[in-house]
Amino acid sequence: MTQFQQLCYQTLKDKVPAGTVITYGGLAKLIGNPKAFRAVGSAMNKNPFAPAIPCHRVVKSNGDLGGFAYDISLKIKRLQAEGVSVENGKIVNFQSICL
């Protein structure tokens, strides 16, 4: 695991609580590298610590769910278990729950 991946995972775990989501770009900004949103996506795809490191909370900037290394229905199930509503592959009330 790279230092970048560790930074992504630790920041996500510490800064994005259950019931909220963050975009790939938002997480990149939090780690101090706003142009690294694609690298953040790659790190989330390789997350060996799910669900302890909640990569399911990272979504696209338009509220779409984005990818998920496992079955996308598992991402939806985990979000819904945390009180996040998903309809037609998008986060409901995205603006109000996105950090």
DSSP sequence for 49-84: TTTTS-GGGEE-TTSB----SS-HHHHHHHHHHTT-
| Tokens at 79, concatenated | 């979000």
Tell me if residue 98 falls in helix, strand or coil: strand
Over residues 54-89, the pLDDT tens digits come to 999 999 999 999 988 888 999 999 999 999 999 999
pTM: 0.95
Domain 3-97 has CATH 1.10.10.10: yes
For residue 70, what pLDDT is reported?
83
**Best CA proximity match to 17, nearest among 91, 84, 94:** 84
98 classed as catalytic? no
For residue 69, what pLDDT is reported?
84
For residue 98, what pLDDT is reported?
97
Q: Where are the domains of the chain?
A: 3-97
Q: Which of 55, 58, 79, 84 is catalytic?
A: 55
For residue 73, what pLDDT is reported?
95
Over residues 31-53, the pLDDT tens digits come to 999 999 999 999 999 999 999 99
